[in-house]
Amino acid sequence: MTTASKPDLHTSDRGLNLLVCDDVSIDETAWIGANVVIESATEIAAGAQIHHGAVLGCQPSLGARSTASRELPPPLTIGEGAVVRPGAVVFSGARIGAGAIVGDQAHVRERASIGEGSVLGRGSALGNDAVIGERVRVQSMVWITGGVVVEDDVFLGPGVMTMNDDAIGRVTDSSTQEPPVFRRGCRIGGGVLVTPGVTVGEEAFVAAGAVLTADVNPRARVRGVPARVYGRVGDDEIEPGTGRG
């Protein structure tokens, strides 16, 4: 098992019971709540809000069979006006875009990124190297596995679960991960299961509770277990002014 190095923390007068490393950078206009821990060269931009009990910039501890990269992640960056809510944990190497929100008790792994104006809901988790675009809405208790790509303007309903490993943990030298891809503007209902390698097309609509075992075409409506096409997203449902569809 790879163990994260011990951070050299000290108290700071920027917040009540705030612990930071020497190389942390906090803009003077950022707000820091109580009992926050900030490690590993983290950079916090102007107007950002870090709420009570958040932990920022920690390094991963990887098990012996983990396929995640063992390279030391770069610094965590928190963009201008971004908000990290109480109890959230954001790892070193992650990037939180301007105006983005990381919800209460959410979890963001190393090298993952959240684009400008996006929201990661309460208790949701973003795996290592996953990418969330701009204006994405991720509801509560969603699992976005490592390497997933979520393009701009996507909606992921509560309890959506994604998978990237068809071997279900039986890792071998030849094992490969196939993360799902969510194309621009698609909408995924609550409780949907998305199996490895599935691509959901632009502006597609996936009904609540569906199980996706195959790609979903752009603007298709699908539902069921396994999901089947039952219609098409109409022109009146395409958000105007985006050039999509």
Whether residues 118 and 88 share a domain: the answer is yes
Whether residues 80 and 30 share a domain: the answer is yes
| In contact, 140 and 121? CB cutoff 8 Å | yes
Residue 121 is assigned to a structural domain of this protein: yes
pTM summary value: 0.91
Mean pLDDT of 204-228: 98
Integer angstrom CA distances of residue 26 from 7, 15, 55, 58, 214: 17, 11, 14, 16, 45
Q: How many domains does the chain have?
A: 2
Which pLDDT band, with edges at 50, 70 and 90, does 1 fall under?
very low
Whether residues 156 and 196 share a domain: the answer is yes
Residue 99 is assigned to a structural domain of this protein: yes
Strand, helix or coil for residue 120: strand
Residue 28 is assigned to a structural domain of this protein: yes
Mean pLDDT of 50-65: 88
Question: How confident is the model at residue 245, as a pLDDT?
Answer: 44
Whether residues 35 and 118 share a domain: the answer is yes
Question: How confident is the model at residue 171, as a pLDDT?
Answer: 67
Which pLDDT band, with edges at 50, 70 and 90, does 205 fall under?
very high
Which pLDDT band, with edges at 50, 70 and 90, does 175 fall under?
low
Range of the domain at 163: 136-167+177-237
Whether residues 159 and 123 share a domain: the answer is no
Whether residues 123 and 151 share a domain: the answer is no
| Nearest 10 degrees: Cα torsion 96, 98, 100, 104 | 60
∠ Cα 4 166 142 (to 5°) = 60
Is the pLDDT assigned to residue 201 strictly greater than 60?
A: yes
∠ Cα 12 17 22 (to 5°) = 30
Which pLDDT band, with edges at 50, 70 and 90, does 65 fall under?
low
Whether residues 182 and 205 share a domain: the answer is yes
Whether residues 142 and 210 share a domain: the answer is yes
Question: How confident is the model at residue 238, as a pLDDT?
Answer: 85
Is the pLDDT assigned to residue 63 strictly greater than 50?
A: yes
**Which tokens sit at 22?**
């020497």
Task: Sort 47 into a burial class: Cβ within 10 Å, 0-12 / 13-18 / 19+.
Answer: middle
Whether residues 120 and 225 share a domain: the answer is no
Mean pLDDT of 152-165: 97
Q: What is the CATH number of the domain that holds 57?
A: 2.160.10.10
Whether residues 202 and 163 share a domain: the answer is yes
Q: What is the phi-psi region of residue 56: left when phi exceeds 0, alpha when psi lies from -120 to 50, beta otherwise?
A: beta
Is the pLDDT assigned to residue 102 strictly greater than 70?
A: yes
Residue 185 is assigned to a structural domain of this protein: yes
User: What digits encode the pLDDT tens for the residues 81-98?
Assistant: 999 999 999 999 999 999
Residue 224 is assigned to a structural domain of this protein: yes
Whether residues 150 and 81 share a domain: the answer is no
Whether residues 202 and 219 share a domain: the answer is yes
